[in-house]
Amino acid sequence: TKTNLERFLHETIRSYEKAYKRNVELHIDEDLTTLTDAQKLKQLLYIFMDNARKYSEDGIHVRVFKEKDYACIQIIDHGIGIAEADIERVFDRFYRIDKARSRKSGGVGLGLALAKDLAKAVGAELFLQSEEEVGTKATIKLPLSQ
């Protein structure tokens, strides 16, 4: 269904902040409407916001911008980051980078594997950029509706 990103993201972020007591800032370049399954897109955002929350200590940023016929939603954190050698593997089921490092945050390493399946279901592409000790940027790229 057609989903207005501004309204949808405001609601999703507000409920996330309430549940997790963590500040999430939303920056929207342009009001965009996409064709997607909003419920699944919400789950997808929760996975990335959860990771940003678990692996960083300060605020989480969500940015929305247009790229050709696509809407890009970026979830940005300034946390511990991911080493280049691990980037490909974090999407694997049960893969967690440093067992000791990750253990205190709980989880079993299923978040990003599920994100991959959800992205497929909503017709989105995922990109993950990260640098150790600098932070992580996850991008969800969705087709715009006409």
The residues binding ligand ATP (CB under 6 A) are 51-52, 54-55, 77, 79-82, 90, 95-97, 102, 107-113, 136
- How far CA 102 is from CA of 74, 90, 94, 96, in Å, comes to 23, 12, 12, 7
CB 31 to ligand ATP: min, Å: 27
- For residues 26 and 144, which CB has a smaller minimum distance to ligand ATP in the complex? 26
d(CA 97, CA 64): 28
- For residues 52 and 64, which CB has a smaller minimum distance to ligand ATP in the complex? 52
Q: Which helix (H) or strand (E) holds 125?
A: strand 125-131
- For residues 111 and 123, which CB has a smaller minimum distance to ligand ATP in the complex? 111
CB 102 to ligand ATP: min, Å: 4
CB 37 to ligand ATP: min, Å: 21
d(CA 133, CA 55): 10
d(CA 58, CA 129): 18
